[in-house]
Amino acid sequence: YQMIDKASKPLAGVRILDLTHMLSGPYGSMILADLGAETIKVEPLQGEGTRKLLANDPKNSLDGMGAYYITLNRNKKSIALNLKDANGLGIFHELVAEADVVISNFGAGVPERLGIDYATLSEINPRIITCTVTGFGSDGPNPNRPAFDQVAQATGGGMSITGADPDHPVRSGIPIGDLGGGMFAVMGILAALVERSTSGRGQHVDISMLDCQISMLNYMATMYFLSGRDPFPIGNSHFVHVPYNTFHTADGFIVIAVITDNFWHNLKEVVDCEEFADPKYDTQPGRWEDREMINRRLDEVLRQNSSDYWLQKLQEKRIPCAPVNRFSQALSDEQVRYRNMVIELKHPNGHSTRGPGNPIKLSRTKAETFAAAPTLGQDTDAVLNGILGYDETRIAELKERGAVG
């Protein structure tokens, strides 16, 4: 049983027991695994539910492993453990004694019922850090409501400002409710690890997906408290800057963000539009007053040539702009590829596809490797023998009893 080279990745030497499923928890533990934490995925004997998502969809799977699972579980080990069996739970508790972190995203109250909550596990290992990602947190008046991505987005207010108008709220195309929970879980776990280096004690990290959505409202929440007014969706435009929007071109869409008067003057040199010469528009108040006309005329002018043509002209004048890329374009962008943000996702049988890389880039401990997502129970024997010292006979007995798989 081989440990990761401690010098190769920043979290090498940290051992995580990963009880997560679906998206929010697995995304957080994926980031930690990418950064080198020895991440042991603890699954029920039938496997966690994400294994089945898209597994039989020929367009979105690789040899029976769906896009969700093959992406979210790279760099992890898998052991199959029956936590509802006394022997299986006992094994888990033994592993906790040798671990640093336990992360889960069960519903509120489930860790306590299973005997895997912080109060229980800290008696076994006072240095253990536990992290739960739930919809609404572990306390308060309403923590037990079921929650998935769209529930978090809707409850957190973000959907009310997304879309073209107040009558048609739209969720974010990226599942930011789930992904936000996973990202903040990583921050909380890393903070607890740093604090433990001083105190010598673990603690519980309580992540609420709703809390994360509220945090990401950021300055807009402060604007609400100052003004007393609910904001409303304004499509891709801005509540201050003009022009700041998405515009048609002859072959697609681009965005232009004129956030200073100097950018406006440069824009007038790029686009030939008689109306823009009015000195009234040389400052933001004038542009804001006639924003509908400016956006309409700019859209009409830009439709006369291609996205590449306009982007080159705009970039020459250092005007903030960008193509509205489809996935095929974003994932082939030379900057994205240079920074290793498209990586090979392997299947245990040797086949592979591609997926997104790790966005955290470090200057010294910068090794990036991506091992295949594991088959169910692939590492059960190695973990039980290498960490707990179980011999083949004992492991076979535990499999016979249905405690492990």
Output the CA–CA distances (angstroms, integers) from residue 382 to 47, 55, 104, 391, 392, in the order listed. 18, 26, 22, 10, 10
Output the CA–CA distances (angstroms, integers) from residue 324 to 55, 304, 329, 330, in the order listed. 31, 17, 9, 9
Q: What is the rounded distance in angstroms from the CA atom of residue 72 to the CA atom of residue 2?
A: 23
Judged against a pLDDT cut of 50, whether residue 395 lies above it is answered with yes
Q: What is the pLDDT of residue 270?
A: 98
Over residues 236-272, the pLDDT tens digits come to 999 999 999 999 999 999 999 999 999 999 999 999 9
Query: pLDDT-derived band of residue 297, with 50, 70 and 90 as boundaries?
Result: very high
Residue tagged active-site, from 178, 206, 211, 379 = 178
What tokens were used for 224?
């609400």
Over residues 144-194, the pLDDT tens digits come to 888 999 999 999 999 999 999 999 999 999 999 999 999 999 999 999 999
State pTM to two decimals: 0.95
Q: Are 324 and 257 in contact (CB under 8 A)?
A: no
Q: Are 301 and 273 in contact (CB under 8 A)?
A: yes
Residue 59 neighbours by CB distance under 10 Å: 6
Q: What mean pLDDT do residues 22-50 have?
A: 97
Q: Are 133 and 152 in contact (CB under 8 A)?
A: no
Q: What is the pLDDT of residue 8?
A: 84
Residue whose C-alpha is closest to residue 107's, from 19, 27, 31: 19
Residues whose CB falls within 8 Å of the CB of residue 194, separated by 6 or more in sequence, listed in order:
none
Q: What is the 3-state secondary structure (H, E, C) of 115-153?
A: CCCHHHHHHHCCCCEEEEEECCCCCCCCCCCCCCHHHHH
Active site residue 278: no
Output the CA–CA distances (angstroms, integers) from residue 188 to 22, 238, 301, in the order listed. 20, 32, 49
Judged against a pLDDT cut of 50, whether residue 1 lies above it is answered with no
Please provide the average confidence, as pLDDT, over all residues in the chain.
96
Q: Are 307 and 254 in contact (CB under 8 A)?
A: yes
Judged against a pLDDT cut of 50, whether residue 9 lies above it is answered with yes
Q: Are 115 and 106 in contact (CB under 8 A)?
A: no
Q: What is the 3-state secondary structure (H, E, C) of 319-383?
A: CCEEECCCHHHHCCCHHHHHCCCEEEEECCCCCEEEEECCCCCCCCCCCCCCCCCCCCCCCHHHH
Residue whose C-alpha is closest to residue 156's, from 128, 133, 181, 182: 181
Angle 390-393-396 (CA atoms, 0-180°, nearest 5)?
95
Q: What is the rounded distance in angstroms from the CA atom of residue 386 to the CA atom of residue 203?
A: 27
Q: What is the pLDDT of residue 2?
A: 43
Environment class of 113 (CB within 10 Å of its CB; exposed 0-12, middle 13-18, buried 19+): exposed
Q: What is the rounded distance in angstroms from the CA atom of residue 211 to the CA atom of residue 374?
A: 32
